[in-house]
Amino acid sequence: MKRYLVTVAVVFCLGSILMYLIMGVAMAGDSLALGPVVRAPEERRIPVLLFSNLITALAFVWIYARGVEAKPWAGQGLRFGVAAWLFRPASMFLINYAVMPFPASFVAKQIVFTLPLVLALSLTTAFMYRTNA
């Protein structure tokens, strides 16, 4: 349980920082260009964002911990990361594109930029759950 909670804390912190750098810094201009479709930075609900990141970290680590095998951790982490990326950010951003007035270029950037984020989180999780294999 201790390893799980420590890993959740690390994934939460790392994910929050990386998400801020991607969405709050690298894509800030793209977001502001959408006008009223996206909240202005001063109107964002940061506690809700952090709670979402916590829920994600709890589920992310829990799912990984249930499937970890006595195999090399880096390969497991990368496989898990790609699966997690396809399951959550990639599919979620495509759904948003289908139902919201987001430009294709904006959605493409979200999809592409979140892949390294999820891979970093999955490798971190796999490293913290590594076995002697």
The whole-number average pLDDT for the span 28-41 is 78
Q: What is the pTM of this model?
A: 0.85
d(CA 28, CA 58): 27
State the CB neighbour count (10 A cutoff) for residue 44: 14
d(CA 56, CA 68): 18
Angle between helices 104-128 and 46-67 (to 10 degrees): 50
Percentage of the chain lying above the pLDDT 90 cut: 65
d(CA 85, CA 119): 8
Residues in the chain: 133
The whole-number average pLDDT for the span 91-100 is 93
The secondary structure element, H or E, covering residue 86 is none
**pLDDT given at position 62:** 95
Query: Any idea what DSSP says for residue 41?
Result: G
